[in-house]
Structure 1
Amino acid sequence: MIDKYEVVTLCGSTRFKEDFMSVQKELTLQGKIVISVGLFGHAGDNEVWDDNTKEMLDDMHKRKIDMADSIFVINKNHYIGKSTRSEIEYAENTGKPVHYLETP
């Protein structure tokens, strides 16, 4: 079936790498195009970072939110860090629906 697919950007702490992979799979099987993080800094992908990397990655993720129809927040154990909170606020301010793994 060819259709217009909803585009969803995943947001959340990169310490939850396995949850990112699980949610990505689930949403893909629901027929959604999933945009995710490029690195899992809190899961060991930060060995090549310099002083500007975090700022660049945060900005890139907001551009990923721009490309999406909605965001899906991976807030395992209700955890939402500073970067994720910023992404939620950005999505809300640009009119994007926000969905959560766990109800906040």
Structure 2
Amino acid sequence: MRFYSNAYLTLQGNVVMSVAFFEHWDGIEISKDQSELLGKIHLRKIDMSDEIFVIDVDGYIGDSTRKEIEYAEKTGKAIRYYSNVEIPSTMFSP
């Protein structure tokens, strides 16, 4: 899914800055300090962005993502949600 959302947005002409990894999905354990560092990095990426694209599969939004959404709202960034985007199945066909 990460591939499809990055590819979809890139093929629409967007410059995509994504998370470095999904620690739970990728099976990576991080320390509290690393978690805080990633949180700060994500906020800096939001500062550099025109909008954020929230990957909310099945409507799920975690605590850190919710904080990032609130930050984006406070800083006047546009917000789009994966659940509201229809990605054509033929988009990646040759």
Task: Give the TM-score normalised by structure 1.
Answer: 0.75
Question: Structure 2 CA distance, aligned partners of 1:77 and 1:55?
Answer: 26
Which secondary structure does the structure 1 equivalent of 2:32 belong to?
coil
Please give the root-mean-square deviation of Cα atoms over the aligned residues, in Å: 1.2
Structure 1 position 23, deviation (Å):
0.5
Q: Which runs of 4+ in 1 moved over 4 A?
A: none
1:66 CA displacement: 0.5
Answer 1 or 2: which has greater helix percent. 2
CA distance in 1, matches of 2:63, 2:32: 18
Number of equivalenced pairs: 84
Aligned identity (percent) is 48
Partner letter of residue 80 of structure 2?
Answer: H
> Is 2:26 the partner of 1:44?
yes
Q: Runs of 5+ in structure 1 lacking a partner?
A: 1-18
After TM superposition, give the deviation of residue 45 of structure 1 in Å: 4.8
**Structure with greater contact order relative to length (CA < 8 Å, sep ≥ 6):** 1
Amino acid in the other structure paired with 2:50: D
Bigger proportion of residues as strand: 1
- Alignment-mate amino acid for residue 39 of structure 2: D
TM-score (norm: length of structure 2):
0.83
